[in-house]
Structure 1
């Protein structure tokens, strides 16, 4: 009887607790849609396409929009002017991270770089990463790995043409294997077989982690209600993924520390080697532990694998829907690279200006991270005349900014030439955090440290795909059949794999 009374009274008790602890709203908040009691605007966001639903709401309420997500105040930025204010002018006030359940657990409670809150620890960790992991000299040492793996992908596609000429190539799978292989070799010196058990394990861990990073946890938005995540299985699912990935990291580390492990003189240092050296360096201001090493490996794996693969697949999708643009990029690459050379290497990329424009246009129309990793305000501040409370969740909608008709002419069209036309105001837009009309890697203190390594992989893979093959739709399909639907996640992949027929070009 007492237990039944408790169950009946629980909603009332929770309501009182939540109302008692609900912070008072400032009176000068940015405009936004009205919300429901307690839950606020949560039901107005389509979780299957968050960036699109936020863009639609912003069309009615403005490029600076306030949302109440449960008990979490949130703003959404949908213009380049405000993005510049957030990521440059007031970067210090907007550069921390929220403590979201999935991100915190998988990052070992923020020991990593991507999800760590902004403080002296973050500053020191970023310095370690920029000096030891992502310095241009270090990125250059991984060039042979990138070129070898891209050449292997091209060789596999070529061999399939010989055996089954009209059988489609699954480019989505090919690119995921390429980028995950590059990252596993760069990260810890291993190359998994495409159909092997270890490769399958590695990929399934990555997929589940992506899901956990964006999973909705009740406790993130409603204080005192984290127990619901335990009841519905979300906590157990997250813990399972964490433990499995932790075991994976530990196996890699144990193998590296095994005194019986042999290493040939020609083997290059990988990221794990460097992290273990820093870990044992007495001069480091942050004393790294194995958990620090694991958290940074997580950043490298998840960011390096998904974003590069998705970008090339989106680029090829746009090119297939725009045959004239495909012809133009192939003409540039093939006229710049002698047919007898047989491969586009990294030295060749600097002369491929149209290819670089295609990559930029892909980032504009379909950024792989359409909502940059959420930020959080470090203090109370003002933005565009409105009061922004401390600890406000900040979403920067790069997808909406890339389609802003006030900035981009014909924003819905795939037109790479816009970046090459000197008469266009967008011809000088870059993707390295200085042009806030296009920030696929973020900007300011939170700009992606691995952007150069990721970008060169994308350009190298795309250049060789259009150089070595002519691409056709599978029998019975037209260019209009290339769908552009997405799978929800931090990184936006195509919902359906891109499968195309590769043909040897007539040059």
Structure 2
């Protein structure tokens, strides 16, 4: 009799658990049928790069919130701007402020506590506050004005050299020169091209390998770490190369700070008084007995700094300049504004001048709306169960937001696939748009909410400054045989599949 009661109680408990699970599942956002253990991986025929076109089809079928199962993990994708605002800025802002841990964190011991990936909490706040207040604050950004002027010269020289024969790859020039600038801001030293190239090659090799080859460890890492041992060994070798290049520069900066403190710092045109590394050397972690950052942690944060500021800005420059090539009337209107503001005799379009050019800002905003460098924000992770659009987002689920879809939504934007900077001027459908998303989200190339990109202001400055100077120096035309095509290719950012190779006609002697 006692056994029968135990069996009955067990059956009832099992039934309640099943019913509860079904009730939760009914509230989950819809999505395609999932295969046990594998989830929706079979829908992704080749790699995770296939996920965007799949998602576009799923949004048409299921609505603006859909679910994919990546193995045992739940991933939710949101395409509606109002739901994104409610989740990122509204009541759910703190709940969704965490990040999923990358595969590299446990397996390689790197990447888990940088600003980009750290969970929302004291450690993240300390690192982000340091970056914003000590390096990206306007007073600090102004210190690097000579660096931007130097990089402007390097960029224009690269573009001129590329036009000597066949049209050069503009993206290569953008990427190299933006990397020069970020290396200088990071390490406080103006390096020669061979040194910059070595760091660039090592950083890009690491970034591409981690993004393209390490995703296999996202599923069943206890098993895959044995199956794909070779990939882990290759990743560790790339990491050692990073350390070999970064540690001497960090140590040199530590010595420079010591000399400054003792009043013995040498003066040099290639050494700057401030750098991001300086701030990292001063940080102590209160929650860990006020210990300083380790050398490995500083290298990882430097890598994050270089990556975050290079590819996004160079990708933005590529798309904007491609649109100016295809829209000569827009380019001429922009050039007329530049001439009216700066005249013909100034050596450059100054950083002060770009603040007085509304059409220039409209061109930049339109480029970011139509061609955001990242079509997704970095993924968020729900710290607790939360509600998005009436659906349950369970604790631990990954949540992502479709940046490109929001900026190209025909319900929110007139002629969304047309490049029309005028929309951001007074009276246009984009006038007064809030780039931070605080008041409402219409486009979010820098994200929104607690994890909005810390470099929003400096990124806008760099785009405005370099676009203005390139348009002042050259007329950008389409080159025969290298016509501009807007087909996209996903790398670390979403770049042009066919690289931009323009014909550059000097405007000044």
TM-score range (shorter-chain normalised) is: 0.7 to 0.9
Q: Cα distance, 1:474 vs. partner?
A: 2.3
CA distance in 2, matches of 1:345, 1:107: 43
2:210 paired with 1:225 = no
* Aligned positions of 1:357-368 closer than 5 A: 357-368=362-373
Residue 210 of structure 1 contacts residue 489 of structure 1 at CA under 8 Å; is this kept in 2? no
Aligned to 2:78: 77
Change (3 A) 1:405 1:229: farther
**Count of matched residue pairs:** 475
Q: Cα distance, 1:330 vs. partner?
A: 1.7
* Aligned positions of 1:389-468 closer than 5 A: 389-422=394-427, 424-434=428-438, 435-468=440-473
- Determine helix, strand or coil for the equivalent of 2:151: helix
Change (3 A) 1:332 1:229: farther
* Aligned positions of 1:311-322 closer than 5 A: 311-322=316-327
Match of 1:276 among 278, 281, 302: 281
Root-mean-square deviation (Å): 2.8
Aligned to 2:254: 257
* Aligned positions of 1:222-371 closer than 5 A: 222=220, 224-227=222-225, 230-231=228-229, 233-258=230-255, 263-264=266-267, 267-279=272-284, 287-371=292-376
- Determine helix, strand or coil for the equivalent of 1:81: helix
Residue 188 of structure 2 contacts residue 275 of structure 2 at CA under 8 Å; is this kept in 1? yes
Change (3 A) 1:118 1:332: same
CA distance in 1, matches of 2:338, 2:43: 46
2:62 paired with 1:58 = no
CA distance in 1, matches of 2:252, 2:374: 34
Residue 381 of structure 1 contacts residue 390 of structure 1 at CA under 8 Å; is this kept in 2? yes
Residue 229 of structure 1 contacts residue 235 of structure 1 at CA under 8 Å; is this kept in 2? no
Change (3 A) 1:303 1:167: same
* Greater than 6 Å deviation, 4+ residue runs: 103-107, 280-284
Q: Cα distance, 1:373 vs. partner?
A: 0.8
TM-score, normalised via structure 1 length: 0.86
Residue 435 of structure 2 contacts residue 444 of structure 2 at CA under 8 Å; is this kept in 1? yes
CA distance in 1, matches of 2:108, 2:330: 41
* Aligned positions of 1:162-177 closer than 5 A: 164=164, 167-177=166-176
2:474 paired with 1:469 = yes
Between stretches 138-147 and 368-377, larger displacement belongs to 138-147
Residue 155 of structure 2 contacts residue 177 of structure 2 at CA under 8 Å; is this kept in 1? yes
CA distance in 2, matches of 1:297, 1:387: 38
Aligned to 1:183: 182
CA distance in 2, matches of 1:107, 1:412: 43
Q: Cα distance, 1:56 vs. partner?
A: 2.9
2:173 paired with 1:202 = no
Structure 2: runs of 5 or more not aligned: 1-19, 260-264
Residue 105 of structure 1 contacts residue 242 of structure 1 at CA under 8 Å; is this kept in 2? no
Aligned to 1:18: none
Q: Cα distance, 1:463 vs. partner?
A: 0.5
Q: Which of the pair has the greater relative contact order for Cα pairs under 8 Å at 6+ separation?
A: 1
Between stretches 185-194 and 284-293, larger displacement belongs to 284-293
Change (3 A) 1:222 1:61: farther
Change (3 A) 1:176 1:469: same
Residue 33 of structure 1 contacts residue 61 of structure 1 at CA under 8 Å; is this kept in 2? no
